[in-house]
């Protein structure tokens, strides 16, 4: 599903690479924590996986597509198979919860009736079924993050990339969020969660742990 081969990422005007010869294989359906201190390269690694950055050296393969060679026109197709969750939610403030979640399906050209059914379904999963019509910016942080997750899950992605998804949540909401990122909710998707919060790690038992330290990757367990 995911393969990084000897990936090095250099940013302009930086002496030290953000990633140094990183190799990583993640099979379909695996749950992986990506840990490491601030500046270690976690966000950079995720950005390479959704095509927001190109590697300076090495190969990035996601779902069979080599992202370092992908024609620019193919990127939107690939993105539809990805669900992205960020620390700062990134919801459209003036729009309702329903509209925020429906957006990813509308972009994909899904029929209106299917959209209505699917949005209802994922909002039930994240326990926001009765808030569908509320403007997204009137929700609490924990609720907004669940909308962001519903939006990521709605198209039934093969891969979910979450960058500090609990960074703005209190411990109770963080726990609720992590519970939604495992098990039946994600429908067998591969899940990669970047975090520098070690307390999160105990929340998903048996998860694979990979650690970045100044751009170098090590397997922890
Ligand atoms: N667009 C950019 N241009 C130049 N340097 C960058 C850019 N983005 C990241 N970096 C640098 O690359 C390194 C890794 O950054 P990255 O954001 O991947 O770390 P991180 O592990 O996600 O950190 P945090 O836990 O603080 O989010 C840092 O030294 C950072 O300053
Ligand atoms: Mg980061």
| Atom of ligand 1 lying closest to residue 37 CA | 25
Q: Give the Å distance between the CA of 129 and the centre of ligand 2.
A: 31
* pLDDT value at residue 79: 80
The continuous run of DSSP H or E covering 133 comes out as none
* pLDDT value at residue 121: 96
Q: Give the Å distance between the CA of 45 and the centre of ligand 2.
A: 9
Q: Give the Å distance between the CA of 19 and the centre of ligand 1.
A: 10
**CATH numeric code, 2-81+157-219:** 3.40.50.300
Instruction: Read off the pLDDT of residues 79-126 as tens digits, 9 standing for 90 and up.
Output: 888 999 999 999 999 999 999 999 989 988 999 999 999 999 999 999
- Of all protein residues, whose CA lies closest to atom 11 belonging to ligand 1? 18
The finding on whether 41 has its CB within 6 A of some atom of ligand 1 is yes
Residue holding tokens 């170098």?
Answer: 216
* pLDDT value at residue 183: 73
The finding on whether 48 has its CB within 6 A of some atom of ligand 1 is no
Judge whether residue 221 has pLDDT over 70: no
Mean pLDDT of the chain: 93
Range among 44-48, 62-66, 74-78 rated most confident: 44-48
| Atom of ligand 1 lying closest to residue 36 CA | 21
Q: Give the Å distance between the CA of 181 and the centre of ligand 1.
A: 24
Over the Cα atoms of the chain, what is R_g? 17
* pLDDT value at residue 66: 92
Q: How confident is the model at residue 134 (pLDDT cuts 50, 70, 90)?
A: very high
| Atom of ligand 1 lying closest to residue 12 CA | 4
**8 Å CB contact between 193 and 181:** yes
Q: How confident is the model at residue 1 (pLDDT cuts 50, 70, 90)?
A: confident
* pLDDT value at residue 120: 97
Pocket test for ligand 1, best of 9, 22, 39 (most atoms within 8 A of CB): 39
Q: In the chain, where are the structural domains located?
A: 2-81+157-219, 92-152
Question: Hey, which residues does 4 pair with through a beta bridge?
Answer: 24, 60
Lowest mean pLDDT among 15-19, 152-156, 159-163, 176-180: 176-180
| Atom of ligand 1 lying closest to residue 41 CA | 18
């Amino acid at each position: 599903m995911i393969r990084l081969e000897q990936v090095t990422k250099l940013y302009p005007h930086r002496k030290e690479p953000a990633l140094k010869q990183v190799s990583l294989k993640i099979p379909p359906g695996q749950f992986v924590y990506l840990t490491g201190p601030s500046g270690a390269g976690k966000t950079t690694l995720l950005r390479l996986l959704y095509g927001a950055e190109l590697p300076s050296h090495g190969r990035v393969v996601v779902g069979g597509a080599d992202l370092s060679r992908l024609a620019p026109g193919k990127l939107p197709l690939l993105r539809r198979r990805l669900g992205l969750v960020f620390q700062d939610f990134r919801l459209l403030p003036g729009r309702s919860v329903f509209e925020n979640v429906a957006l990813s399906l509308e972009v994909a050209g899904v029929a209106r009736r299917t959209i209505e059914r699917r949005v209802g379904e994922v909002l039930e999963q994240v326990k926001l079924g009765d808030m569908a019509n509320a403007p997204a910016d009137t929700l609490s942080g924990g609720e907004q993050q669940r909308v962001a997750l519903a939006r990521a899950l709605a198209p039934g992605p093969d891969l979910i990339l979450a960058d500090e998804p609990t960074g703005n949540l209190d411990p109770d909401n963080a726990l609720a969020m992590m519970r939604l990122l495992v098990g039946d909710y994600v429908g067998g998707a591969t899940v990669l969660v970047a975090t520098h919060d070690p307390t999160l790690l105990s929340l998903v038992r048996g998860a694979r742990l990979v650690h970045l330290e100044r751009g170098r990757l090590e397997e922890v367990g």
